[in-house]
A and B are shown apart, each in its own frame.
Chain A
Amino acid sequence: MEKFVQVENVQMVFNTRSGRFVALQDVNLNIRQGEFVSIIGHSGCGKSTLLNLVAGLTEATSGVLLLGGREIAGPGPDRAVVFQNHSLLPWLTCFGNVYLAVERVFGRDEGRATLRKRTEDALALVGLSHAMHKYPHEISGGMKQRVGIARALAMQPKVLLLDEPLGALDALTRANLQEELMRLVAGAGTTTIMVTHDVDEAVLLSDRIVMMTNGPAATIGKILDVKLPRPRRRLDLTDDPAYNRCRSEVLKFLYERQHKDAA
């Protein structure tokens, strides 16, 4: 499907104490089914706002958002979100956190045994079978984020929404999880939108990179096609001219055209 996710003439205005703040203006974007799209830009450019609009967590001031031809009205489990700060419920184990989502999506049609199996499979997929019955405070940041990803993928969403999913992790954990995320998303074939501020991450994972201009009234400045064959491997790409060309194009956009003065 060419236009699986459609964002049309979206404007987002926040009413703040100091008056109207136009966060997004004239945003138009179409995403194919199965595509991996990254949204990149300086902090405060409204990239998370755009993601929240697709998630249905906030409502656009004007314009339309469609998923599979149907208007997005409010959040729902067909658009799973992985939040930056993992958002696991601390009173549930890893298993419990994933099970809550699985039960919500499949609970109507499937028995408890099947639901448990789904949950266990999802955790096994991110390599966390051994930590299944641990509580979030007992595991590392990287593991928490894996549980978050497992929870989202277990829901078999139409669109996977990643809001700087690896932003809070150290560089090595981050690199590992990027590869893992690539493998998981490719395996499931899920349409994915990821907000990031990491250029390498965007180039490595994406089919297209959406570059946002600086706010207020941020919009899409440029869209880059990343024509690198899959499966991609980080080490192979470090010397790849096509990879470096993509990288420098994003960097140029961010640091020349959208230069942001140090505050």
Chain B
Amino acid sequence: MSVVQMAKIKTPPPAPVTDAGAVAAVRAPVSAVPPARDTVRKFLQWILPPVLGMAVFVAIWAMVAAVSDLPGPVKTFDTAVQVFSDPFYDKGPNDQGIGWNVLMSLSRVGIGFGMAALVGIPLGFLIGYFGFLNRAMAPIISVLRPVSPLAWLPIGLYIFKQAQPAAIWVIFISSLWPMVLNTAAGVTQIPQDYRNVGRVLNLSPWKLFSRILFPSVVPYVLTGVRLSVGVAWLVIVAAEMLTGGVGIGFWVWDQWNNLSVQHIIIAIFVVGVVGLLLEQAILLMARRFHY
């Protein structure tokens, strides 16, 4: 049965014969779209544009590959099937499955970001709350924030003498600023109404913090967290290229040394998908705190 046929069956029975009723009966098949057809149309409207976009992208990729040395979609896909068929093999420190590499990168991001959150969120609160501290920190943050995170890598290597903590150090520095700045902005933007409630009730400092300040800043904190994780994930690839070890960034560098361009393309997709998943996870969490 076609969609049009379904529509005809659901047409309402003829209305009593009045002028208005006649008009309504004529109009009914056009205006009253049956729910089933509506759902199908909505689904198509939702799925079609992204599918089309992907198709065009793959087509352009294939065309570029046809006139250059770049591996095309089919060749890359074949390699990807191999790579993902055994993601967790372990043949010594320099030859591990892509799963291990991604997990190692994620753990570095997790540790560096976690420490940055422990420092950045309380620091942001203090900066937002105390105008003096805000003005004291402003020049430092303004100067340090635009510095490329990788510029901190030599400092990390010098201090820690090891690649692993140096990479984590870079993640720490790069994910610190978004959380500090967003938390501070959130504190300064607590609505006066909520502050007044706290003032009229004369709440104790702890109650004021836990019932009014913190909940109203949470959405800003989560924005900072989202930006921080995004930056951290961007930076880890570059940091690992320089520090080596197991990790998706070093994996890319290793494949470049092997001149295996398909693997590099696969890595780009993997990095993109993992980044997307991280962001969506945080957005999902943030929705819970959208008052």
Contact of A87 among B193, B215, B291 (CB under 8 A): B193
Docked Cα-Cα span, A87 to B200, in Å, equals 12
> Cβ of B202 and Cβ of A83 under 8 Å apart?
no
> Cβ of A89 and Cβ of B215 under 8 Å apart?
yes
B190-233 contacts to A, CB under 8 A, are: 193-194, 196-197, 199-203, 207, 211-212, 215-216
Contact of A101 among B194, B199, B201, B212 (CB under 8 A): B201
> Cβ of A75 and Cβ of B202 under 8 Å apart?
yes
Count of chain B residues with Cβ under 8 Å from any Cβ of A? 16
Among A79, A80, A81: residue with most chain B CB under 10 A: A81
Contact of B194 among A57, A80, A81, A87 (CB under 8 A): A87
> Cβ of A90 and Cβ of B291 under 8 Å apart?
yes
> Cβ of A92 and Cβ of B211 under 8 Å apart?
yes
Contact of B201 among A57, A92, A104 (CB under 8 A): A104
Contact of A57 among B200, B211, B212, B215 (CB under 8 A): B200
CB distance from B217 to the nearest CB of A (A): 11
Among B200, B211, B215: residue with most chain A CB under 10 A: B200
- Asked if A217 is an interface residue, CB under 8 A from chain B, the answer is no
> Cβ of A89 and Cβ of B212 under 8 Å apart?
yes
> How many residue pairs at the A-B interface have CB separations less than 8 Å?
48
Docked Cα-Cα span, A182 to B206, in Å, equals 36
- Asked if A137 is an interface residue, CB under 8 A from chain B, the answer is yes
CB distance from B205 to the nearest CB of A (A): 13
Whether A57 touches B199, Cβ cut-off 8 Å, given contacts A87-B193, A89-B211, A92-B211, is yes
Docked Cα-Cα span, A87 to B211, in Å, equals 14
Docked Cα-Cα span, A81 to B197, in Å, equals 8
A135-152 contacts to B, CB under 8 A, are: 135, 137
- Asked if A100 is an interface residue, CB under 8 A from chain B, the answer is yes
Docked Cα-Cα span, A55 to B194, in Å, equals 15
> Cβ of A77 and Cβ of B200 under 8 Å apart?
yes
CB distance from A49 to the nearest CB of B (A): 14
- Asked if A129 is an interface residue, CB under 8 A from chain B, the answer is no
Among B196, B201, B211, B212: residue with most chain A CB under 10 A: B201
Contact of A91 among B196, B197, B215 (CB under 8 A): B215
Question: Which residue of chain A is the closest to B194 with respect to CB atoms?
Answer: A89
Docked Cα-Cα span, A17 to B213, in Å, equals 29
- Asked if A68 is an interface residue, CB under 8 A from chain B, the answer is no
> Cβ of B193 and Cβ of A76 under 8 Å apart?
no
Q: Which residues of A contact B202 (CB under 8 A)?
A: 74-77, 104
Whether A83 touches B291, Cβ cut-off 8 Å, given contacts A77-B202, A91-B215, is no
20 contacts between A and B (CB under 8 A): A57-B196, A57-B199, A74-B202, A75-B196, A75-B200, A75-B202, A76-B202, A81-B196, A83-B196, A89-B194, A89-B211, A89-B212, A89-B215, A90-B291, A91-B215, A91-B216, A91-B289, A92-B211, A104-B202, A137-B291
Given pairs A57-B199, A75-B199, A100-B207, 6 additional interface contacts (CB within 8 A): A57-B200, A75-B200, A100-B211, A104-B202, A135-B291, A137-B291
Contact surface of A with B, Cβ cutoff 8 Å: 55, 57, 74-77, 79-81, 83, 85, 87, 89-92, 100-101, 104, 135, 137, 155
